[in-house]
Structure 1
Amino acid sequence: MTTPATVLFDLDGTLLDTAPDMGMAANRVLAEYNLPPLSQEQIYRHTSYGARGLLTAGFGDKAKEQDPIALRARFLHHYGQAICSGTTLYEGIETLLDLLEHQAIPWGIVTNKPEGLTHQLLTFFPRLQQAQVIVGADTYAHAKPHPLPLLEAAKTLNCAPEHCFYVGDIENDMLAARAANMGAAVAAWGYTGGDDVISKWEADHIFATPHHLSAFIGS
């Protein structure tokens, strides 16, 4: 695929390193159940899978005994209370967004974070609030890996899907991109799990850093 006409981004593990705050919220839930906290390695491995991924890792075999809706509600409560204590923008993202805007390439965010929490978090990152479209997990009837959120985002930006890139850091992002007939680009700087895992995702492109993606678009 040549240089995209539009670029859509995942949020957690792609634009923002949210693992510190997501992990803190999960560990607060685990503490309520007298369970040990997740390690940093576990947090970074599961953050892109949200509350479900983190809490499943924390509860282990006991996860099936719990009410997933209640657990998720507790997680979201704690996360909303301290949504940006340790979250940071990945190095090179601002340069990448500057390049997209310089080249008049529209960009947006499609995440599986609830839309309300997404907007709450982005108040701390005004640069990301400049996205031309922002789609959360509950914006439409389906979330990723269903292609609907990506297709609706492309429609909002008046771009044919085949001329879009979707950039994300987990396999479900690549599945959603392929199902939407978009270029599937791996943000290998995120919570990917390593090169041996990425190689199985059948992505169109793998970018080691935001600077590598900038170089591709700039070329």
Structure 2
Amino acid sequence: VFIGLGVPLYQGYGLTETSPVVSVNTVEHNIPSSIGRPLQGVEVKIGESDELLVKGDSVMMGYWQDDEATRRVINDDGWLHTGDKARIEDGFIFITGRLKDIIVMANGEKVAPVDMEHAILEETLFEQVLVVGEARPHLAALAVLNQKEWEKFAADNNFQDAEKHSEQVEQAILERISDALHEFPGYAQIYQLGIVDEPWTVENDLLTSTLKMRRNKIQDTYQDLIESLYKK
């Protein structure tokens, strides 16, 4: 939006533990979807599970009087584990997710739910989506539908509003999801869907103040629904 209005944005990235700036875009070198290139004197690399690691004089020596916490985030070679997933292209860093958000399925496959959710949300039928499946044999999703798009979808498919939570509607919507995830591997597909009527908001404590989903809170709130999906 800002770029379309002629207002340039220069994203950067930093942590309290790195004093705080790690990387930044500049006027001369700017890729808006990236967090820029590392500052002079800052080293970065991609570690296990695509985690962004940072090293340099700006990285903290450790947490005050907490050696155990320090050892958890800074390895013996001095690399700080950021907890963020990333990739590096031509020196520019792109954040792709959080390690804590990774779903490990029962078969050991690892899935980045955020990537799947973004793909599903390209389909205008969906307002909000949460992929679940930790330690499960397959993935499922909770979804809040866009009301206007749902009404159009229902009319096009001869569904009544009262059928919104029916198995027939679920299967029809799962086909939309399958189309949205056509570039994902076979294990990264949605096999069950739970439709949620109430949007996730800051007011009901299911979104943070920065409008990010409280993943654990949402799963706790709809635990019974999630369990029912895996009993089908």
TM-score between both structures, scaled by the size of structure 1:
0.23
The structure that is strand-richer by fraction is 2
- Computing the radius of gyration from Cα coordinates, the structure with the larger value is 2
Select the structure that is richer in helix.
1
TM-score (norm 2): 0.22
Higher RCO (CA 8 Å, separation ≥ 6 residues): 1
